[in-house]
Structure 1
Amino acid sequence: MKELFYTLVFLIFFTRLSAQEFMLSSPNELIRVELHQPDEVTENWYFKVFYNESPSEKALIPKIEMGLARNDEGFSSNLKLRKTGKIKSISEAYNLIHGKRSSTSNAAREVTFYFRNDSGKKMNIVLRVYNDGVAFRYEFPDKEGNFSIDNEFTAFSISVDATRWLEKWNPANEGLYQQMQGDSLRGEWGYPALFHDRDTIGWYLIHEANLNRTYAGTKLSNTKDINTYNLVFPNPGDGRGTGKSKPDISTPWQSPWRVIIIGNLATVTESTLVTDVSDPVKLKDTDWIEPGLVSWNYWSSNHGTKDYQIVKKFADLAEKMGWKYTLLDWEWDAMGNGGNLEDATAYINKLGVKPLIWYNSGGDHTWVPATPKDRMLTHENRVQEFTKLNELDIAGIKVDFFESEKQNMINYYLDIVEDAADFNLLVYFHGSLVPRGWSRTYPNLMTYEAVRGAEWYNNVPTFTMNAPQHNTILPFTRNVVGPMDYTPVTFTNSQYPHVTSYGHELALGILFESGLQHLADRPEGYYSLPEEVITILKKLPAAWDDTKFIYGYPGKNAALARRKEESWYMAGISSELWEIEKEIALKFLKPGIEYQLKLVQDGEHDKAFKISDGKVTSEDTLKVKLLRRGGFIAVFEPIKSLTK
């Protein structure tokens, strides 16, 4: 009888191994990941991902193939599973100085799969299943030496029937997202990539996080198979051919996390999974880091910083509006018409505003000749320059034109951020990579461009008609994964005109999150607004305590509510070519509190507002009307408690 018992146990275990190696669910049981062995079609081990809200048994992602190739060994089709580790519970809470949520918590289950290749060399795969997604990464645990990674075989099998929102890869990450379904395009695609599988009702956003000095940035490519999105390394020509495309590693080693945010559209939009899996803060002192609004003269004046008188006008704007910062953009080293850099910083600081300053990242990796382009290149350069900036009471630096995500450039980004932190300098990047979670690790990194923002009204006439739809996609794609320096809230026109309403433009200051929020219009564009709107812009936060999805669909409309302390700010926009009306439940407000409402929506025409006041609670609904390509904002400030 005892022998029979052990035989049955062996058979059950063997059957389980033959069909399915392992299954791991999220703590809330909504997401399930299965590990499967290679089969006749698939050479590599693979994950299968299910979303349990689905009405069908179909997998949300039927196959995620895995594996790596080192310059000395392969770790893909030749892998044998040695053992599966014990399931661990992950429960974490942490704070962020800026972002969509100041106090963040997450829960996950984690397991490690221990593999060997034919030579007996070890590679582990660590899997975490969170309530809002999946993350996995590779490990080489042995202390063997130095290697290069020749290839990563991570690949997502995604049916062409899934609706997708993808941005064609470009080194500055400033393309337009395209909505595709059916005969979708082949190509290389930047992060993050959004997918909606109608059969399983699931939404998912593919990204990577905690990229560090030990790897290069990756992107997605379906050039070989239209249904398979492979992770690929940077192109050799990126950064004018400087740097190696394939990363060098030293073991023991861990890869960045491969992240898939999963759920309904609200789950995806509100997720903090990218920072959840990133390294905790490395700075000992963060009290000096202050998010804030910034006046910016480039959008309206192009060569504004070259003119001392224009610099003064934008400093005056920041002072009158109560904004913390003003930016001295390119050409500050050629400033004239009554003053130079020293005069400008003295004037700005006397007003109680803090100056920020622009730099070309420089070096042989960029084609852009704009100066100064030699101040960031080495540690010695940076120490010398940052010492001067401290003497001028300059609060932070904008560094531009990186044009590569090769490993050498990842190191360059992090060198700048770390050295700047030693001098209490804020940092933000333009012409850059998309956020990978660094703002948690280095909170002095305030924002990134990596978006086709309002600057493109200066660049091409086509952005005029692209912008409305593009703006409604960004809250569900690019801005999900980290701060986004779109430079919003522009009412007047720059090189090419708007077709969005004033209500639409006003809403972008709330809808788009950025630790340094550049409001890009010229001073008269703000001074001519109604007093109620000016008052809102004076008090507008640049960092939030909470964020809630209200409604939306990428490419059509979007509405979010964000909380700062006890006040809520809600904003919505539309790209539709007709007027729409929305009735919004105010359940995001704190129950038992009465709020003073200030509603600013589209008026009689696209350059007019309709402003109204009222008192509301969480049990009320709010009716809003948006013109075509329109928008609205609503501000809720607590008045009193309704409970005894």
Structure 2
Amino acid sequence: MKNLKAIILGVLIITCLEQALYAQKLTLQSPNKKITIELFNQQNSNTGEWYLKVLYTLDATTTESISRIDLGLIRADQAFSKELTLVKAGRPVLINERYTSVHGKRSVRSNAANEIITSFQNPDKTKINLILRAYNDGVAFRYEFPEGHEAVAVKDELTAFTISRETSRWMEKWNTANEGYYTPMSDDKVQQQEWCYPALFNTKDKTCWFLLHEADLDRNYCGTKLSNTLDATKYKLTFPDPRDGRGTGTVEPTITFPWKSPWRVVIMGTLQDIVASTLTDDLSAPSVIKNTDWIKPGPVSWNYWSSNHGTKDYKIVTRFADLAADMNWPYTLLDWEWDGMGNGGNLEDALNYIRAKGVKPLMWYNSGGNHTYVSSTPKDRMLTHESRVIEFTKLKKLGVAGVKIDFFESEKQNMIQYYLDILNDAAQFQIMVYFHGSLVPRGWARTYPNLMTYEAVRGAEWYNNTPDFTMAAPEHNAILPFTRNVVGSMDYTPVTFTNSQYPHVTSYGHELALSVLFESALQHFADRPEGYYNLPDAPKAFLREIPTAWDDTRLLDGYPGKEVILARRKGNDWYIGGINAELREKKKSVKLDFLADSVKYKLTLITDGEHDKAFSTQYLLVDKNTSIDVPILRRGGFAAVIKPEL
């Protein structure tokens, strides 16, 4: 049956391993045949150095998207690079899995790919496997040591992506918090340095987009980053800097056997394919939590943006609890300094008040330990299994639903283990978790669905930090849906209408649209209460009912840094958010052809008004044949909700 299935699907075309011939190429195609991975030997032999090439076909035009991906690892005891002999190419396997997700951009997921395992050995006769997968929305590969004895350090990973200078790219300079800007580059403007994941590319002929990332990172490795410091066209995977985490932890990961590396991921296709992809989660380990009924996504009121020391003040805390109750948001966050609360009440008083309002509290913690310079308390309560058990036991009794844990500052193996230990312990107490000052998502939300979101983004908090965010925010906001937010929930803390320390230049319509554009299972709406209370009825109602977990996600239009229009579905209702990052007004025609056949819908369209602090609202009856014209101010935006007519 497997052979028949392989023939019917055209899973694999192989020209290798014939006993009398040396072969140099193995080819694996995606189920829809748009994406092809080719395996080559540099010496045109069965022994030597091996590399991959990735091709993309659209409308009968084939593009060499990535001309070369170098392969190999160097362990402390042996090398697996220049003298690898191809021993066997396994039979093709169809990966065909369906699973559900508690939150994210799509509730029902399909993990469907063609896979082949190629086996090599080095001169010491030690085996290493290369596992290749071709998906309809990308490719992935990982290394495997199927056998071994004592634990051993990995000295270097030689994986490197060669990408021509003519390819356009949007990349973020490496920083441990992943809170930088994306820099657009191509040709002679390509910079050489270390870069964060994910990184977005568009081929010279404009037909193919791809995003470089990694997935299914576990306790048996460290996080990596991209570096083209030696060659502008070659992005090599590199281990963490020794200085990360104040120098704590070792740079080189120590692996135990049997071992598999994280997946090296290339999300690929059109921009629509990139935005809709769940490949980072698809490649990651299934949920270890059987009962997920207690995991509840939802909006959160948050006092830090408008008052940096707000949680220290009982009266401010109660105002934000009232806001959450009034707006029908299930959560409010007690950020740093809750352990020093005063002005009318202490922590216990605040928690009692919050619960009495029908709102669930979330609480902030410093990740603690010597890996962070930040001394803010409580600092060490998450640091060990024993301290976490004590703290989670208290929180459970106090009715706290989740914890925000901050300042990790490293992706060394010890820190990866720390992240996962926190998630595992929290799950035992049915406590939701989200990480700040952290790495970008690596698929853990599938394995631990109590992981609700990560920061790892330059978000609205930066209106508090530096004046440059004011003018940079519009373009930045129009890049994130194509980059950072593709790979997992993003706690940008959006939708602010008043000003923090530094002002906005985005319109009110732009800010409202971010509630749809930015996906985060716990969506922290960051403005002060009057920022929401003073809204007109339509945008206020919109924010009262906005979901934070979705059944479907579709890109309707957009280009990184210029504009983006996204549609997301929850049940039978659709929500649309669109923003303009440019300094000119636009009129966009939005087709509603994603709606169901033969169904009439009621559309509430909330657009920019006469100026950037005004709204205009229309109510229309529409169907899938409708196209709506939407005026957008410079740096403006709009939002819409579409519900079946009753």
Q: Cα deviation per residue 1:562-603 (whole Å; 9 max; x = unaligned)?
A: 000000001100111010011111011111110000000000
CA contact (8 A) 1:58 1:200 kept: no
1:369 aligns with 2:370: no
Q: How does 1:239-278 map to 2 (within 5 A)?
A: 239-278=245-284
| Structure 1 Cα separation of the partners of residues 59 and 252 of structure 2 | 39
Q: Which amino acid aligns with 2:126?
A: K
Which residue does 2:6 correspond to in 1?
A: none
1:165 aligns with 2:170: yes
Alignment partner of 1:213 out of 215, 219, 240: 219
CA contact (8 A) 2:209 2:270 kept: yes
Q: Cα deviation per residue 1:272-310 (whole Å; 9 max; x = unaligned)?
A: 000001011001221100000000000001100000000
Q: Give the secondary structure class of the aligned counterpart of 2:144.
A: strand
Alignment partner of 2:203 out of 194, 197, 207: 197
CA contact (8 A) 1:54 1:200 kept: no
1:457 aligns with 2:483: no
Q: Which amino acid aligns with 1:357?
A: M
CA contact (8 A) 1:550 1:559 kept: yes
1:494 aligns with 2:500: yes
**Residue 144 (structure 1) shift:** 2.2
Q: Which amino acid aligns with 1:51?
A: Y
Q: Cα deviation per residue 1:43-88 (whole Å; 9 max; x = unaligned)?
A: 7300110001176554110100100000000001110100100000
Q: How does 1:68-147 map to 2 (within 5 A)?
A: 68-147=73-152
1:295 aligns with 2:301: yes
CA contact (8 A) 1:296 1:518 kept: yes
**Residue 18 (structure 1) shift:** 4.5
Which residue does 1:3 correspond to in 2?
A: none
**Residue 200 (structure 1) shift:** 6.1
Which residue does 2:553 correspond to in 1?
A: 547
Q: Which amino acid aligns with 1:75?
A: F
Alignment partner of 1:431 out of 417, 426, 437: 437
Aligned residue pairs total 630
| Structure 1 Cα separation of the partners of residues 103 and 149 of structure 2 | 40
CA contact (8 A) 1:472 1:575 kept: yes
**Residue 17 (structure 1) shift:** 6.4
Q: Which amino acid aligns with 1:272?
A: T
| Structure 2 Cα separation of the partners of residues 15 and 143 of structure 1 | 29
Which residue does 1:152 correspond to in 2?
A: 157
CA contact (8 A) 2:300 2:330 kept: yes
| Structure 1 Cα separation of the partners of residues 17 and 386 of structure 2 | 61
Specify whether residues 43 and 229 from structure 1 end up closer, same or farther in structure 2 by C-alpha distance, changes over 3 A only: farther
Which residue does 2:41 correspond to in 1?
A: 37
Alignment partner of 2:406 out of 400, 418, 427: 400
CA contact (8 A) 1:435 1:483 kept: yes
CA contact (8 A) 1:328 1:358 kept: yes
Q: How does 1:210-609 map to 2 (within 5 A)?
A: 210-609=216-615
Specify whether residues 16 and 427 from structure 1 end up closer, same or farther in structure 2 by C-alpha distance, changes over 3 A only: farther
| Structure 1 Cα separation of the partners of residues 536 and 546 of structure 2 | 15
| Structure 1 Cα separation of the partners of residues 60 and 479 of structure 2 | 26
CA contact (8 A) 2:72 2:157 kept: yes
| Structure 2 Cα separation of the partners of residues 18 and 266 of structure 1 | 41
| Structure 2 Cα separation of the partners of residues 319 and 107 of structure 1 | 42
| Structure 1 Cα separation of the partners of residues 594 and 639 of structure 2 | 15
TM-score by length of 2: 0.96
| Structure 2 Cα separation of the partners of residues 418 and 12 of structure 1 | 44
Q: Give the secondary structure class of the aligned counterpart of 2:187.
A: coil
| Structure 1 Cα separation of the partners of residues 382 and 216 of structure 2 | 23
**Residue 20 (structure 1) shift:** 3.1
Specify whether residues 112 and 13 from structure 1 end up closer, same or farther in structure 2 by C-alpha distance, changes over 3 A only: closer
Alignment partner of 2:616 out of 610, 616, 635: 610
**Larger deviation, residues 429-438 vs 106-115:** 106-115
Q: Which runs of 5+ in 2 are unaligned?
A: 1-14
| Structure 1 Cα separation of the partners of residues 206 and 474 of structure 2 | 29
CA contact (8 A) 1:59 1:200 kept: no
**Residue 634 (structure 1) shift:** 1.0
Q: Give the secondary structure class of the aligned counterpart of 1:59.
A: strand
CA contact (8 A) 1:54 1:202 kept: no
CA contact (8 A) 2:366 2:407 kept: yes
CA contact (8 A) 1:54 1:201 kept: no
| Structure 2 Cα separation of the partners of residues 49 and 534 of structure 1 | 47
Q: Cα deviation per residue 1:604-644 (whole Å; 9 max; x = unaligned)?
A: 0000001010100001101101000000011100015xxxx
Specify whether residues 599 and 36 from structure 1 end up closer, same or farther in structure 2 by C-alpha distance, changes over 3 A only: same
**Residue 143 (structure 1) shift:** 3.1
Q: Give the secondary structure class of the aligned counterpart of 1:301.
A: coil
CA contact (8 A) 1:60 1:200 kept: no
Q: Which amino acid aligns with 1:448?
A: Y
**Residue 21 (structure 1) shift:** 2.5
Q: Which amino acid aligns with 2:277?
A: S
| Structure 2 Cα separation of the partners of residues 319 and 127 of structure 1 | 50
Q: Cα deviation per residue 1:347-375 (whole Å; 9 max; x = unaligned)?
A: 00000000000000010000111111010
**Residue 198 (structure 1) shift:** 2.4
Specify whether residues 70 and 566 from structure 1 end up closer, same or farther in structure 2 by C-alpha distance, changes over 3 A only: same
**Residue 311 (structure 1) shift:** 0.2
CA contact (8 A) 2:440 2:454 kept: yes
Which residue does 1:25 correspond to in 2?
A: 29
Task: Indicate the RMSD between aligned Cα atoms, in angstroms.
Answer: 1.5
| Structure 1 Cα separation of the partners of residues 365 and 138 of structure 2 | 37
**Residue 532 (structure 1) shift:** 1.3
1:59 aligns with 2:60: no
**Residue 149 (structure 1) shift:** 0.4
TM-score by length of 1: 0.96
Q: Cα deviation per residue 1:300-345 (whole Å; 9 max; x = unaligned)?
A: 0110000000000000000000000000000001100011100000
Which residue does 1:5 correspond to in 2?
A: none
Specify whether residues 63 and 457 from structure 1 end up closer, same or farther in structure 2 by C-alpha distance, changes over 3 A only: same
1:620 aligns with 2:614: no
